Chains A and B, each alone.
Chain A
Amino acid sequence: AQKITQTQPGMFVQEKEAVTLDCTYDTSDQSYGLFWYKQPSSGEMIFLIYQGSYDEQNATEGRYSLNFQKARKSANLVISASQLGDSAMYFCAMREVDSSYKLIFGSGTRLLVRP
């Protein structure tokens, strides 16, 4: 079973509007972390935001925020006031508690911002 599911292969958003990228996860652990990364067309992986399973508040970083719904096992990324530079692939990833600290990635969502 997939541990991280991103159901939107591609999305469009109008410049200056907000957009939500979906991420659901599957784990039996009580303690885990969720990460979002951005991959522009140049290829590098850029860390955006982190949410811990015990964090009581939704994480925010500038124009990025997480809509974390633990009971639904979802951690959706919200980008406010979209900019042309937000056009990229976005990956959701989960870290479970084990000795490796590895990340399990979803398949990604390609976001295109229209001017």
Chain B
Amino acid sequence: NAGVTQTPKFRVLKTGQSMTLLCAQDMNHEYMYWYRQDPGMGLRLIHYSVGEGTTAKGEVPDGYNVSRLKKQNFLLGLESAAPSQTSVYFCASSQQIFNQPQHFGDGTRLSIL
């Protein structure tokens, strides 16, 4: 009964380092999303995917890249981390049904020094 699993849960990076956040879902959902949550700003969409092999930019895509090589996985990469990317990152997935909610992972707290 895993749902959406994010790895890692916490990470501290130095400016300029790179890393990849992994999101895995076991619900056979077509759509997957990466959001960031900053204080007072709600969740903002970084990138999303509407199916295996597809990706698209969201509201705040700069400094991030994504890949969806397998339907169940959606990876978020930071090539050269910056302090402005300190945030909590959420992955979500959903069915291709309009009235169905997105299901969220538990989040990754990322600090960049």
Chain A residues engaging chain B, CB cutoff 8 angstroms: 4, 9, 33, 35, 37, 43-45, 47, 50, 52, 91, 93, 95, 97, 99-108
Contacts and interface: CB of A to CB of B under 8 A. Distances in A.
B104 A52 contact: no
A47 B103 contact: yes
Interface stretch (B15-23, B39-47, B66-74, B76-84): B39-47
B96 A50 contact: no
Interface string B52-93: 000010100000000000000000000000000000101010
Contact of A99 (B50, B92, B94): B50
Nearest to B35: A105
Contacts of B56: 100
Nearest to A44: B106
13 contacts: A4-B42, A37-B101, A44-B104, A44-B107, A45-B43, A47-B101, A47-B102, A47-B103, A52-B99, A91-B43, A97-B98, A102-B33, A102-B58
Interface string B6-50: 000000000000000000000000010101000011111100101
Most chain B CB inside 10 Å of its own CB: which residue of A33, A35, A97, A101:
A101
